[in-house]
């Protein structure tokens, strides 16, 4: 193998740049030429790339976002365009591709693997919703960013005896909500994985008031409903006057924390090692503190579950 390519796809995540740096430098160090494609699969289809040198990836280890930019590509969902992408890579003599992204991006990568390109996935998404890896790049930073905001909200909530609803990201998964909820001492954490009960939430808030709690905090994952909708439901059923904060894309930005930088560096090198050892359709995964390779298909065939002990902790400690 002489040439490999790299792209970032799906939602950006802090630490993607550190992963780009790690892939590029470990590949150049092993004598490979590295092609960086812009805007995920869109750039691959538009043939928008640059050859990356070791210096091109200097000064980015601590920067959020992705220097290669990212996108969601509707075209790449079609087999016609997947064929075109694989043909182009072959024409250029690019035999290996590292895809940094989430489960959707990995499904796309698997299509290229079927067409004879060696692919390796590096899990990068703030959602942490990829099975068989304990962590995805960006999750730890996103939790810290959200927690920082929630700590500020707690100050003002306690000063005014208020109920606050904080909406965090997570359309299909509640990993951010759960960790932020535990770390901020929230009264309730609402996640897409657990059916929502307005009655139970009302009972809980009511019991908290009776026990002398003057302010309460609800951490809501966006996949359950919008914070505005929950505010309306709580007003209509319990008479609560909640204040609402939607953290939104703030959670995706900012400098990666040390855990994400180190994870990204390890996973980037792991991906290059895998390609050079002739592997394909594998993913770099963090398991019990060690980065190793697992089948790429596990990322969509298996489902990562929330830690029930953490869920219980919210209940036990929010009395
Ligand atoms: N089943 C699929 N087949 C081919 N490509 C896919 C598939 N699912 C997603 N992709 C590609 O990956 C891109 C990113 O996927 P998405 O689910 O939005 O983000 P993520 O990778 O973070 O989960 C999509 O815009 C599309 O181009
Ligand atoms: O920026 P967009 O396109 O609105 O997407 C928002 C979604 O992206 C995420 O931040 C990350 O999701 P992916 O990693 O699957 O792209 C989700 O938490 C959020 O629901
Ligand atoms: Mg996804």
Task: Count other C-beta atoms under 10 Å from residue 141's C-beta.
Answer: 25
The percentage of residues in the chain with a pLDDT greater than 70, rounded to a whole number, is: 100
What are 223's two structure tokens? 């996949």
Cα separation of 49 and 87, whole Å? 15
The phi, psi pair for 188, rounded to 5°, reads: -150, 145
- Show Cβ contacts of residue 44 under 8 Å, excluding neighbours closer than 6 positions: 5, 7, 37, 76, 85, 88, 89
Question: Given pLDDT bands bounded at 50, 70 and 90, which one contains residue 35?
Answer: very high
Is the predicted pLDDT of residue 262 greater than 90, yes or no?
A: yes
Using the predicted structure, report yes or no on whether residue 123 has a pLDDT greater than 90.
yes
Residue with CA closest to ligand 2 atom 14 = 125
Burial, 68: exposed, middle or buried (Cβ in 10 Å; 0-12, 13-18, 19+)?
Answer: buried
Domains parsed from the chain with CATH numbers: 3-138+256-301 (3.40.50.450), 140-252 (3.40.50.460)
Q: Which ligand has the shortest distance to the CA of 126?
A: 2
Q: What is the pLDDT of residue 93?
A: 98
Question: Residue 82's pLDDT is what?
Answer: 98
| Residue 158 binned pLDDT confidence (cut-offs 50, 70, 90) | confident
Query: What ligand is nearest to the CA atom of residue 40?
Result: 1
Q: Is the distance from the beta carbon of residue 101 to the nearest atom of ligand 1 less than 6 Å?
A: yes
Please check if 102 is assigned to a binding site: yes
- Is residue 209 pLDDT above 90, yes or no? no
Do residues 252 and 13 lie in contact, with contact meaning Cβ atoms separated by under 8 Å? yes
What is the C-alpha separation between 89 and 73, in angstroms, rounded? 17
Complex ipTM: 0.97
**Can you say whether the dihedral through the CA atoms of 96, 108, 194, 211 is positive or negative?**
positive
Q: Is 309 a catalytic residue?
A: no
């Amino acid at each position: 193998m002489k040439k490999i390519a790299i792209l970032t796809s799906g939602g950006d995540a802090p630490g993607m740049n550190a992963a780009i740096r790690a892939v590029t430098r470990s590949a150049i160090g092993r004598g490979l030429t590295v092609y960086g494609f812009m805007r995920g699969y869109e750039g691959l289809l538009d043939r928008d790339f640059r050859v990356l040198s070791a210096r091109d990836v200097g000064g980015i280890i601590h920067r959020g976002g992705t220097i290669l930019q990212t996108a969601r590509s509707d075209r790449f969902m079609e087999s016609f365009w997947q064929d075109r992408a694989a043909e182009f890579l072959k024409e250029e003599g690019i035999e290996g591709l590292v895809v940094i992204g989430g489960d959707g991006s990995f499904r796309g990568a698997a299509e290229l693997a079927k067409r004879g390109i060696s692919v390796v996935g590096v899990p990068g998404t703030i959602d942490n919703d990829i099975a068989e890896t304990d962590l995805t790049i960006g999750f730890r930073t996103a939790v810290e960013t959200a927690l920082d905001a929630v700590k500020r909200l707690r100050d003002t909530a306690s000063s005014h005896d208020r109920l606050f609803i904080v909406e965090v990201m997570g359309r299909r998964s509640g990993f951010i909500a759960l960790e932020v909820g535990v770390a901020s001492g929230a009264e309730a954490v609402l996640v897409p994985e657990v059916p929502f009960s307005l009655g139970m939430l009302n009972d809980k808030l009511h019991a908290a008031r009776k026990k002398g709690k003057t302010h309460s905090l609800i951490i809501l994952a966006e996949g359950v409903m919008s914070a505005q909708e929950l505010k309306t439901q709580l007003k209509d059923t319990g008479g609560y006057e909640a204040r609402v904060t939607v953290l939104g894309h703030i959670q995706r930005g900012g400098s990666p924390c040390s855990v994400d930088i180190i994870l990204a560096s390890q996973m980037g090198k792991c991906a290059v090692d895998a390609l050079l050892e002739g592997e394909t359709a594998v993913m770099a995964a963090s398991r019990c503190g060690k980065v190793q390779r697992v089948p790429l298909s596990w990322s969509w065939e298996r489902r990562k579950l929330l830690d029930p002990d953490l869920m219980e902790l919210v209940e036990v400690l929010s009395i």
